[in-house]
Amino acid sequence: MPYNQLSPEEERVIVDKGTERAFTGEYEKLFSPGTFICRRCNNPLYSAEAKFKSGCGWPSFDEEYPGGVKRHVDADGRRTEIVCAHCGGHLGHVFEGEGFTEKNTRHCVNSLSIRFIPEGGDLPPVLDAG
């Protein structure tokens, strides 16, 4: 089964490594129990329990699901990009040493890169490019 169909704006962020404007994403202020998955392939990425208020304008998480996210040095050579470990879709960037949580890590994630499944909801199957 192929990846989920993306809107042009979702493709700009996920495939072309863009960034949505701060404080505009649908998940920036959402703090409900559940799971955040990759919008492109449905790979589980973050538990809502790992989400915290950072004030940065994007959803922030201090821990990913094991094996859910990969880190790469960004094209600018200064930041660390985070991508879905399954499909390679761009999620955002990770920052360490800021002191927001005990884990001292902030995954700064574009809402357009993720989808929220409320607690008790069925997680869709993880998709391949087909």
Domain boundaries, the chain: 8-118
Rounded average pLDDT over 29-53: 97
Using a 10 angstrom Cβ sphere, with 0-12 exposed, 13-18 middle and 19 or more buried, the burial of residue 8 is exposed
Q: Does residue 112 have a pLDDT over 90?
A: yes
Torsion-angle region of residue 54: left (phi > 0), alpha (psi -120 to 50) or beta? alpha
Specify the CATH class of 8-118 in words: mainly beta
Active site residues: 108
Give the pTM: 0.95
